[in-house]
Chains A and B, each alone.
Chain A
Amino acid sequence: MKLEQCIELAHGAGGKSSRRLIEQVILAECRNPLLEPLADAAIIEWDKTRYALTTDSYVVSPLAFPGGSIGELAVNGTVNDLAVSGAKPLVILSSWILEAGLSMEVFQREVKAMARAAKAASVIIAGGDTKVVEHGKGDGLYITTTGYGLVEPGVNLGPHRVEVGDKILLSGPIGDHGITVLLARGEIELEATLKTDSRPLWPMIEPMIRLEPSAIKWMRDPTRGGLASVLNELAHDIGFGVMIEEELIPIRQEVRGACEILGLDPLHIASEGQFVAVVDQKKAVDFQKLLNDIPGGEEARIIGVISDKPSGKVVTLSAYGGSRMVDMLVGDPLPRIC
């Protein structure tokens, strides 16, 4: 498919447009073996040790919302990209782009939030940069964080490891973050007691690795674009089918309610504190039980299985036998009335 003439908002939504932008511009110009997997982190081997390196930008509006703010997201998002690459997060660098006129109190608040989140995630903010742009050019504050971690021995993740029969494990309820931020924008006037699920994932992933690193085949965190997007990327990369059971996916009442009212699909809504893993079927139940015993992992569930067909697609099954394909988002999820 041809590339658009201009950058559109859809390019940032984590769906098909984003993927195309990355493949047709970035990968096309910079192709090399480290970039090609287009995974959440680059894995670099040096002297028999593997390091993971990742970077991410945070451009959220509003800056603060129930349960958190951009500062937390900026730390957790990046340490989580390391965690789902099987790497223990160690160090973060942070770059801040500040809009002239931003309240100093807000900036202090966000840096405090980052410091707190870094402590909770056991990482050090080792350096960074600040720039100021003219008023009107920055949405208040943009943060980019780069993370660096040590890949645990025995970890071997990637589409090449996934086999038919492997199970799909989800760490907890999806969609909390996306709906929280949507409601916090105030345009829709829905009331709900929801807060962001932003949190570091290493405390849940590390025990799984300790248990049996080779039984974990692939991991991602379903942020922008939601569970549907990461599963579609998986299906596309492995060439097999990804079958999930609708009723098994944990979703909070409030997320369901907001999605019902607005006509949104929870599978397309971002989470900031969940991960999805493809694991060996023999170990799947053990992993789920392990997570269920960790605070915050009580709702972890096996939600599906890798199947031989339909190739490259994600399908969800309902209890009464109905099935449908789950497509990747085009652009941002839009409320509908029809």
Chain B
Amino acid sequence: MCLAIPGKIVEMDPYDQMPFIQTALVEVSSVRRRINIELIKDEEPKPGDWVLIHVGFALAKISEREAQDQLRILSMLGEDKQAMEELQGYSMEEEKKT
């Protein structure tokens, strides 16, 4: 639910010193805040990555490819029957195949 916003990782903080929490400096529209990245450590975040931020934590990495795909398909709406068919592609059945 809730307010979660996209931000870009600008700098990773060193982990090898007190207080031993993994954080990164994240920027949202020229404003920066230290965000805890422990919840997405498996995705190996690095500077330049975009992440979704909620209550001071990064919850997920944002996929530029998926975002571009979505925008591309929507821009073809009305112009191309193929676009509508492509729009049908994101259901659970499809996911099982990939």
Task: List A residues at the B interface (Cβ < 8 Å).
Answer: 189-193, 253-254, 256-258, 260-261, 263, 336-338
Contact = CB atoms under 8 A, between A and B. Distances in A.
A192 B3 contact: no
A253 B55 CA distance: 21
Contacts of B31: 190-192, 254, 257-258, 261
How many B residues are at the interface, by size bracket?
10 to 19
Interface string B14-39: 00000000000001111111100000
A338 B5 contact: no
A190 B27 CA distance: 10
A191 B54 CA distance: 17
A338 B3 CA distance: 5
Nearest to B5: A260
Given A189-B33, A190-B33, A337-B54, A257 B3 contact: no
A257 B28 contact: yes
B92 interface: no
Given A189-B34, A191-B33, A337-B55, A260 B2 contact: no
Interface of B: 1-3, 5, 7, 27-34, 53-55
A193 B32 CA distance: 10
28 contacts: A189-B33, A189-B34, A190-B31, A190-B32, A190-B33, A191-B31, A191-B33, A192-B30, A192-B31, A192-B32, A253-B29, A253-B30, A254-B29, A254-B30, A254-B31, A256-B29, A257-B29, A257-B30, A257-B31, A258-B31, A260-B5, A261-B5, A261-B7, A261-B33, A261-B53, A337-B3, A337-B55, A338-B2
A191 B32 contact: yes
A193 B55 CA distance: 22
